[in-house]
Chain A
C-alpha cells in the first residue's frame, strides 16, 4: 500500500533547467494538490486538480505547470528553474475537492543553484 509516491526525493538543479516532479497516488482520490513549504511560512498551494482532466491555479502558480491526464498522476513542471523555487514540494490528495483531510507524499526537496 503506497498511498502517494513522489519522485525524486531530492534534486539539485542548475538555474534555467527544466524539471518535472512526479506524483502518483493509488487511493483513487479525485482531488490532487501541489504545495511548497518554506521555512517560516505555511504550506502554499501551487496548483490543484479537482478531478482528472481539470486543473486550477493556487496561491503561487507562476513558473509552474501541471497536468492531470488520469486519476493517479499529477506531475509538476518547472519550465525554467530559478533559485527562488528552492523549496520542499509536497503532493497531496483528497477523496473530494471539498475535503480538508489531505494525504501527503513524502516530499521532494529541490535546490536550484
Chain B
C-alpha cells in the first residue's frame, strides 16, 4: 500500500534550526511536496522536489532522495510564526497526492 510517515510533533527553540523528516512508499513517483498549515487555517504550498538534492527557498529548504524514499524540510532561523503543522505529500503514478498526517512544530522562545 501507499504510505507517508512523518513525526507527529516536534519542538524547537526560536532562532534555531529544525529538520522535519518524511519517508514515503508509493506506487510510482511524480514529486514530493511540503505544505504549511497554521492551526485553523488552510494548507499553503511550500516546496516541490522531483529530482534528488536540495531546493533552497529563503529560510526553508527541502531535500529529496528518491532511492531512499526520503525527504526532509529544513527550517532555519526559526521564528514564532513558524509554529504550524507541516504536511508532506507524494504524487503517485496516477498524479494523485498521497498525504502524510502532518508534523506539528512547536516553537519555544
Q: Chain A residues in contact with chain B, CB under 8 A?
A: 40-45, 58, 90, 97-98, 100-107
Contact = CB atoms under 8 A, between A and B. Distances in A.
Nearest to B43: A104
Contacts of A104: 42-44
B42 A100 contact: no
A104 B102 CA distance: 16
Given A42-B87, A43-B87, A90 B101 contact: no
B30 A42 contact: no
Given A100-B31, A100-B91, A42 B44 contact: no
A42 B101 contact: yes
Looking at A41, A42, A98, which has the most chain B CB atoms within 10 Å of its CB?
A: A42
Q: Which size class do B's interface residues fall under?
A: 20 to 34
Interface of B: 4, 30-31, 33, 41-45, 48, 87, 89, 91, 95-102
9 contacts: A42-B4, A42-B98, A42-B101, A43-B87, A43-B89, A100-B48, A102-B45, A103-B45, A107-B41
A3 B102 CA distance: 24
Contacts of B97: 43, 45, 100, 102
